[in-house]
Amino acid sequence: MRINLTTKLFAGFLLLLGLFAAVLLLNYQLAGQVLRNSQRVEASQHVSADGTTLLRSIIDMETGFRGYLLIGNEQMLDPYYSGERDLLTRFNQLREQLGTEPVQRERLDTTQ
Q: Tell me: the pLDDT tens digits for 63-76?
A: 888 988 888 888 88
Is the pLDDT at 108 greater than 80? The verdict is no
CA 112 → CA 38, 54, 60, 72, distances in Å?
Answer: 29, 11, 16, 28
Residues whose CB falls within 8 Å of the CB of residue 47, separated by 6 or more in sequence, listed in order: 94, 97, 98, 104
| Sequence letter at residue 71 | I
pLDDT bucket at 16, cuts 50 / 70 / 90: very high
**pLDDT number for residue 38:** 95
What's the whole-model pTM score?
A: 0.65
Interaxial angle between packed helices 102-111 and 78-98, expressed in degrees from 0 to 180 and rounded to the nearest 10: 160
Residue 101 has a pLDDT of 78
Residue 93 has pLDDT above 90, yes or no: no
